[in-house]
Structure formats: C-alpha cells, structure tokens
Amino acid sequence: MNILNELTQSVENAFAAADLAGEAIILKASSNPDFGDYQINGIMGAAKKLKKNPRELAAQVANILADCPLLGKAEVAGPGFINLTLSTDFIEKNIQAALLDNRLNVELPENNQTVVIDYSSPNLAKEMHVGHLRSTIIGDALSRVLQFLGANVVAQNHVGDWGTQFGMLVAYLVEQQKIGNENIALADLEQFYRNAKVRFDEDAQFADTARQYVVKLQSGDDKVLKLWKYFVKISLQHAQNIYTRLNTLLTPENVRGESFYNKDLQPTVDELLQKGIARIDNGTKLVDLPEFPERDGKTPVFIVQKQDGGFLYASTDMACVRFRVNELHANRIAYVVDARQSLHFAALFSVCRKAGWLPENVLAEHIAFGTMLGKDGKPFKTRSGDTVKLADLLDEAVSRAADLVRQKNADLSNEEVTKIANAVGIGAVKYADLSKIRTSDYVFDWENMLSFDGNTAPYLQYAYTRVASLLRKAEGSVSGSLNIREPAEHRLGLCLLQFEEVLSSVAKSSCPHYLAAYLYQVATLFSHFYEHCPILSAEDSVKSSRLQLAQLTGKTLKQGLNLLGIEVLEVM
Ligand code: ARG
C-alpha cells in the first residue's frame, strides 16, 4: 500500500468537494513530526488564483478531511497549510496486514513495465577495476527494486568484446608465438594487452597487422574467432566471480556484448543514410546535431561509420537500441554508465528518436554517476598510482571487516568470522556507494564505511540483529492486538508503512540513496522507540503490541537491505 497515493486520492476528493477540482494539492510527507505526518501546501496557491481567503479555504478543506478514515487529524496551520496526522487505527490495521504478507503489503505498481537495465558492461580482456564498481552495484539495486515492484526487468551486460583491442591482442600473441597455449590466465592477458598497446603505438606495421586481425575477426575467420572466444571466456569467468562475490544478480545469461550487434551495424547505418538523417563527409558517415550547443564554434556531430568502413561504439549502441525496443520490447531503457558519457547518450537518444527507432512511449535514460575519489580528492588509485583491481578491493574489505568482527567478539569461530566479515565487508562497500547521491563524486573511506555508527551498512546490519535477538528472547508472544499509544510508536509505525512510497520513488528517479536514507531512518526510529518504550518488561498486552512493531522493523530492514543487494545476519 502506497500511503501517499491513498492520501492523494482523499485530498483530491476533498478539493473537489470544496470546488477546487483540478488545483494542485502539493501533498508531502512532513519533515517535522510536530507538523503532523503529511502536509498539504497547495491551498495558498489555489486561494490566490481564486481570490479567496487562504485560511478560510484551508479550514473548509480540513473540515471535509476530518471524515476521512485514513486520518486522525487535519489541522490548519500558518497562512493556509493543512497538517495531516494518520489515524492510529489506520496505522495499526496496516501494520498487522503487512506482518501477514510476505511482500509487506507492497503492491506491484510497475507490473506493466518492461525495463532494460544496461549495467556493469566492462570492456573485456582486462581485470575488472574500481571503475566498474558503481555501475555494477547501482544497476543491481535498481534491478532488484523494479523487479520487486513487479516490473519485467531485463538486465543487459553490454560488455566490450569487440574491436581494436582484440586485434592487437591476437597480433601480439601471434608475434610472440604464444598461440596454442590454452592456459593463458587473465592476468597474463592483461600484461599481453599492455605490451600489445606499446607495440601498436610504436610500430606502424604491427598496427596494420592488428587492424587486419580485426577485419578477420569481424568477417568470421575461424582461427581468429577461436582465440577471441577464448579471451572472452576467461574474461567473463573472472567477471562472474566478481559478480558472485558482490552478491549481484548478474549471470552469464545477461551478457549481450558488443559483438552481438555486428551483423546489424551496416544496415543500421544504411537506414540512417536512406532516411536522410546521416550524411557522408569525405567518406565519414555522420549525423549533424544542431539541437546541441556548438563546440569550438561548430555544430557537433555523431559519427556512425569511419572513413575506412569501421564502426564505432556509437554504431553498436544504435543497433542495440533497435534490438532493445523491437526484440526485448522495452518500455524503458536505463543505461547505468559513468557521467562522462552523458554527451554520447544524449546524442544517441536524439538520433534514435529522429530515426524512429526509439518511439516516444519508450523512456530512454542515462543513469549517470560520479567518480569514486581517494581521500586526497583525486580518482581512487593504489598507493603506486595504479587503478585498483576490484578483486583486491573486495579482499581488503573482507579482511578489514574480519579484524573488526574479531575485535567486537573474540569468541567467534573462524568460520563464523568469515561469514560475518563477508556480509559486513561487501555490504559496507556497496552501501557506502548506494547511500550517496549517485550523480556526485564521493570519497572512498574505509573507516567511515566500516563504522558501526551512522549511516553505514554495519550499523543497519547490526540494528537488524538486535531486532532478531529481541524477537528470539520474546519467543511466542508476537500476536494479539496492536495499539499505538506513544509518539515513538506512531512515528516508527508510520515510517514502516511508507516502504512502498519510498520504493516507488527509487523506481522513478533511479536513485537508490532514497532507500538507504529510509532504512537508516527506520533503524534510528526503532532505536528511539526501544529507548522510550520498554518491551520485554512491559505487561503482556503492551509487550505483544510492541513486539509486532519490532517484528515489522526487522522484516523491513531485511527486505530493504536485500533490495540494495546487502545481506543481513541473525547473529553478529
Ligand atoms: N563498455 C563501456 C565502457 O566501459 C560501457 C558500456 C555501457 N553501455 C552501453 N550500451 N554503451 O565504457
């Protein structure tokens, strides 16, 4: 149940009854509990427009709302605001309903949507590094939330598995007579790739050979294709390892790399030319983008095929849009990619709209994110200035978490420590990212993210185990009637019922930090409630009522963290 939607309905009805049909109601959750649970801010605007007294108008609407079964109070405040407080009866009933439902009373508002989410999408033949972290975990959280709200989510891992880098690698391996050795590890490949790049830049003949291999690859030469498949295979095995460790939903079935679109590239470009959208300039095929601001005094262009006939990242992405619309039947396509590619996506969407490949009823979005910075404010690197490998980063997270877990509880077995350290270490890295506004850069800071205080994964995981332990102690007494008596109960109860409202806002904005902030609020309100409202020592009826609030807190924290891809533990 989405309270905001339900209330909106009631307020709209009240507006209609007060001859305000069609006026903006502007309904929001209150930021301060002294002003009730929700606030109507639209009366002043409507009064001005209709030349009426705002306070009188507010009183009229508040009067009508007094009969609304959702509400306990509707009070006029200030120059014409209306503060709404939910009725305790409504909160009590809905908490009990949520406890009886394994979806916690969350409906399926996205169930008519097919959403393609393009995420992770690393370039292959290299180990995954920190640059791939944000896309992978933000994309995964969005997938989970949309899926939970009923959307048909199609995850697409658009890996870079095609093009010049593979030609270079093949040329280098042939030159070094390394062909036939089927035991090349990914770390070796990476070194070969670096060497190949040096050869490519210093030796024109080597560069030519590399380009010929690209042509051979693209035209399906058996030998080259076999090598390429091998490179792709070991790169993807490595990526899948990382995905599993990161507790993401990605599987090999989600991989649909650039190579998949190879056969569609020429027809895509040809169609653009036929439609008069692309033109040929000195052999280069391009689309003019007069709708974008000039760069260096010139109209920007979108190059779709090079002079030598080669295709680019952009060509593949156009073919890919067509596939996602026509074959995957997307209503919405979300690209979870670094903010530095924003021009590429703006141009891509614009060209695809012009070509009719992206119909107006299909939403295309670049879900951009900022850069991970080190404490020095520069892009996050190792001490020696190299890019940080993701596998090393995850090792460090788990080992730092293990130290903390041992410090907190020296009696745990090694096996227990490993289990907890995995959940806490990986959870901390993910949560530190997901709790930040995604479009900003953020500083990657081990101490902060692993702290058991503040808005961190360990704090929330710990809050969950505290609830779990409370419920274990109370064994058996969670039933009977639920009565909201104290303000701390009202606030926690209200917050728990706002789960769907928050998930919907995450789905719309593609901003997981709303969910993180919400879970932190749940944990904080629970701790306030726990301090002010004795539970286990209370008399039976009070105890069982409060335990129900605790139980829904636990379930909400668990489900919410799960939607961020973060594990909880019963004991820590
Ligand atoms: N492989 C690209 C990169 O590493 C990201 C691909 C994103 N997806 C897309 N359809 N362009 O920059």
pLDDT tens per residue across span 362-393: 999 999 999 999 999 999 998 888 899 999 99
CA of 266 to the centre of ligand 1 (A): 20
Q: What are phi and psi of 367, to 5 degrees?
A: -90, 85
Range of the domain at 170: 165-254
Going by pLDDT thresholds of 50, 70 and 90, the confidence category of residue 484 is very high
* Residue whose CA lies nearest to ligand 1 atom number 6: 121
Ligand 1 pocket test target in 341, 342, 387 with most atoms within 8 Å of CB: 341
Q: Is the CB of residue 75 less than 8 Å from the CB of residue 25? A: no
How many Å apart are CA 274 and CA 286, to the nearest integer?
A: 13
Residues sharing a CB contact under 8 Å with residue 394, sequence separation 6 or more, in sequence order:
242, 245, 246, 425, 426, 429
Flag whether 526 is in a domain.
Answer: no
Q: Is residue 24 part of a domain?
A: yes
Residue 264's CB is within 10 A of a number of other CB atoms, namely 16
Q: Is 123 in the pocket of ligand 1 (CB under 6 A)?
A: yes
pLDDT in tens, 526-536: 999 999 999 99
Q: Atom 5 (ligand 1): residue with closest C-alpha?
A: 121
Domain assignment present for residue 239? The answer is: yes
Ramachandran area for residue 203 (φ above 0: left; ψ -120 to 50: alpha; else beta): beta
Residue 35 in domain? yes
Whether 497 is in a domain gets the answer: no
Span 281-289, mean pLDDT? 97
Structural tokens at position 544: 């069982």
Q: Of ligand 1's atoms, which has the minimum distance to the CA of residue 317? A: 10
Mean pLDDT over 240-253 rounds to 97
pTM for the whole structure: 0.95
Task: Say if 491 falls within a structural domain.
Answer: no
293/346 Cα distance (integer angstroms) = 12
The pLDDT, as a whole number, for residue 219 is 83
Domain boundary among 238, 254, 270: 254
**Domain count for the chain:** 2
Residue 386, pLDDT score = 87
Whether residue 36 lies inside any domain: the answer is: yes
As a whole number of angstroms, the distance between CA 133 and CA 127 comes to 12
Could you tell me if 278 and 355 are in contact, meaning their C-beta atoms sit under 8 angstroms apart? no
First to last CA, the chain: 32
292 pLDDT more than 80:
yes
266 touches ligand 1 (CB under 6 Å)? no
**What's the pLDDT tens digit per position in 150-204?**
999 999 999 999 888 888 988 888 888 776 666 777 778 888 888 999 999 999 9
Rounded to 5°, the CA angle 180-162-235 comes to: 55
Decide: 304 in ligand 1 pocket, CB within 6 A.
no
Average pLDDT, the chain: 94
Q: Which atom of ligand 1 is nearest to the CA of 337?
A: 7
Distance of CA 259 to the CA centre of its chain: 26
> Could you tell me if the CB of 157 is within 6 A of ligand 1?
no
Where would I find the beta strands (DSSP E) of 439-485?
A: 442-443
Helix (H) or strand (E) holding 453, with range, is none
Domain boundary among 225, 254, 283: 254
Q: How far apart are CA 479 and CA 482, in angstroms?
A: 8
- The enclosing domain of 41 has a CATH number of 3.30.1360.70
Domain stops at, among 254, 272, 288: 254
Whether the per-residue pLDDT at 551 is higher than 80: the answer is yes
Give the model's confidence band at 100: pLDDT under 50 very low, under 70 low, under 90 confident, else very high.
Answer: very high
| Residue 182: per-residue pLDDT | 62
405, 407, 399, 470: which is closest to 429 by C-alpha?
Answer: 399
Task: Report the atom number in ligand 1 closest to the C-alpha of 338.
Answer: 12
Report the C-alpha gap between 572 and 569 in whole angstroms. Answer: 6
Give 414-456 pLDDT, tens digit per residue: 999 999 999 999 999 999 999 999 999 999 999 999 999 999 9
Within 10 angstroms of residue 8's Cβ, the number of other Cβ atoms is 15
Please state the atom number of ligand 1 nearest to the C-alpha of residue 320.
10
C-alpha closest to that of 480 among 168, 12, 112, 95: 95
In a domain, 34, yes or no: yes
